[in-house]
Amino acid sequence: MKKVFLAPSILSANFAILGEEIKNVLNFGADIIHFDVMDNHYVPNLTFGPMVLKSIRDYNILAPIDVHIMAKPVDSLIPLFAKAGATYITIHPESTNHINRTLDIIKENGCKVGIAINPALSIDFLDHVIEKLDLILIMSVDPGFSNQKFILNTLKKIRLVQNKIILSKRKIYISVDGGVKFCHLDSLLQLGVNIFVIGSYIFNHSNYKFVIKKIKNYISNF
């Protein structure tokens, strides 16, 4: 059976009780924590850095954490997030002048290698770096904020990315991030998506347990 995971994006969590928010979503069945790093330069918003990640690990949160870095320049941040406890580090190709080098830094620091693709970015560059990837994060909104509208063209993009992964014969997860709600799951599952990054649809719900179980049941039984 295909592996499918739920990754709540803590961008929509209550930061005043972040540790508890994360423990709750994990207890209710979430698989991966999605950690959005924003710098008010690459994207017009500002969030958290390696110190917050370290606090989460020190709070005994052991689940895999995907650190989605929306910051430029990015290279010098990678060792800091690796040391703080990142499992995956996912970067945007536009945030570096030298993509190969940046991906190598992620790997050398012991993390799984992810690349994020913005909605309007062409995917040709993947041919040149696919050998280095563990994860392709397909953005279904322009990065920067939670609770935006899912861009439907993403579905076409996923199909193209999936073809490239098949040709590469590598085991690379496809993750989708931005505006994902229950109504999108069916088409995304049909396209072979492995990781569902979901922020506001979970954290804006009054009952995390209910909404996580509903999503997990659907994706696990697909």
Binding positions for ligand DX5, rule: CB under 6 A: 9, 11-12, 34, 36, 68, 141, 143-144, 146-148, 177-180, 197-201
Report the partner that residue 12 touches, choosing among ligand DX5, Zn ion, none (CB closer than 5 to 8 A by kind).
Answer: ligand DX5
| Partner interacting with residue 96 (select from ligand DX5, Zn ion, none; CB below 5-8 Å by kind) | none
Secondary structure in 3-state letters for 126-182: HHHHHHHCCEEEEECCCCCCCCCCCCCCHHHHHHHHHHHHHHHCCCCEEEEECCCCH
Single out the residue of 21, 36, 39, 134 in contact with Zn ion (rule: CB under 5 A).
Answer: 36
- Using CB atoms within 10 A of its CB, is residue 204 exposed (0-12), middle (13-18) or buried (19+)? exposed
| Catalytic-role residue among 31, 36, 39, 134 | 36
Whether residue 58 lies in the annotated active site: no
| Residue 4 binding: pick among ligand DX5, Zn ion, none (C-beta 5-8 Å cut-off by kind) | none
Q: Is 127 a catalytic residue?
A: no
Distance from C-alpha of 170 to C-alpha of 132, rounded to nearest angstrom: 10
In this chain, which stretch among 30-38, 78-86, 146-154, 204-212 interacts with Zn ion, using CB under 5 A? Answer: 30-38
> Beta 88-91 vs 195-198: how paired, if at all?
unpaired
Of 31, 39, 134, 177, the active-site residue reads 177
Q: Does 177 bind Zn ion (CB under 5 A)?
A: yes
Answer yes or no whether residue 39 interacts with Zn ion by CB under 5 A: no
Closest contact distance (angstroms) between CB of 72 and ligand DX5 is 14
Instruction: Choose among 200, 222, 89: nearest CA to 148.
Output: 200
3-class SS letters over 9-55: EHHHCCHHHHHHHHHHHHHCCCCCEEEEEEECCCCCCECCCHHHHHH
Return the active site residues: 36, 177
Residues near Zn ion, by CB under 5 A: 36, 68, 177
